[in-house]
Structure 1
Amino acid sequence: MVRIHLSRILGEKRWTQADLARKTGIRPNTISEIYNELIERINLDHLDLICEVLDCDISDILEYVPNKKKKIR
């Protein structure tokens, strides 16, 4: 499973989702879906913008956590 740590990063910076949407130009609904880990696919351009604005690396935002139950056989 892939975990998204955008909520933690925004909390550390004391930014709101609206702040991030304004600074990146990404739609607020898209930011909300990423923030709440409801998104199934992330646009690479969006990741690039978020990393640039937050001055962080992709690995700060995304983390791979092995599944307890394997999805493939």
Structure 2
Amino acid sequence: MITFHLSDILKKRGLSQNQFARMSDIRPNTINEIVNNKLKRLELETFAKLLITLEKLGYSVNDLIELKEP
């Protein structure tokens, strides 16, 4: 199971989901699904936007994603 830590990152940076959605040019609904770990599918283009925005904030893919065994 893949767990996203976007919620923690946004809290640390003092950013709302909507602010991050605007920064990354990703739909707010998609950001909400990531934050709540409800995402079923992630387009590569969206994933790239997410990682580019996080990189600008000083985070890497390792900060965002955790793989947990079921």
Counterpart contact for 1:5–1:61, Cα < 8 Å: yes
Aligned residues: CA RMSD:
1.1
TM-score by length of 2: 0.85
Letter in 1 for 2:64: I
Mark the structure with the bigger radius of gyration.
Answer: 1
**Matching of residues 13-28 of structure 1 within 5 Å:** 13-28=13-28
* Per-residue deviation, 1:48: 1.5
Secondary structure of the residue aligned to 1:41 is coil
Structure 1: state its 5+ residue gaps: 68-73
Q: CA-to-partner distance for each residue in 1:7-48, whole Å, 9 max, x for gaps?
A: 001111111100111111111111111111111112222221
Secondary structure of the residue aligned to 1:38 is coil
Question: How many pairs does the alignment contain?
Answer: 67
Structure 1 residue runs of 4+, over 3 Å off?
none
Structure 2: state its 5+ residue gaps: none
Counterpart contact for 1:4–1:61, Cα < 8 Å: yes
Aligned partner of 1:30 in structure 2 is 30
